[in-house]
């Protein structure tokens, strides 16, 4: 297994922000309006979580 240094990756800034967050598992950087996704999921019968991906 190869060890990866987080400072050498393209996501170094995101990793640094995550490590310095007061509550890393509940860190949101942007508020998303998901009302359109809810509407689409109800009309099409697709799962909301699938549309979030």
In tens, the pLDDT along 15-48 reads 788 788 776 666 566 777 889 989 999 999 999 8
User: pLDDT at position 25, please?
Assistant: 66
CA distance to 17, 24, 43, 45, 46, per residue, from 5 (Å): 15, 19, 45, 43, 39
pTM score? 0.41
- Measure the CA–CA gap between 4 and 2, rounded to whole angstroms: 6
Strands (DSSP E) found in the chain: none
User: pLDDT at position 1, please?
Assistant: 78
Mean pLDDT of 2-17: 78
């Amino acid at each position: 297994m190869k060890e990866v240094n987080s400072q050498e990756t393209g996501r170094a800034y995101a990793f640094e922000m995550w490590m310095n967050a007061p509550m890393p598992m509940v860190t949101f950087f942007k508020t998303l309006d998901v009302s359109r996704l809810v509407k689409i999921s109800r009309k099409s019968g697709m799962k909301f979580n699938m549309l979030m991906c």
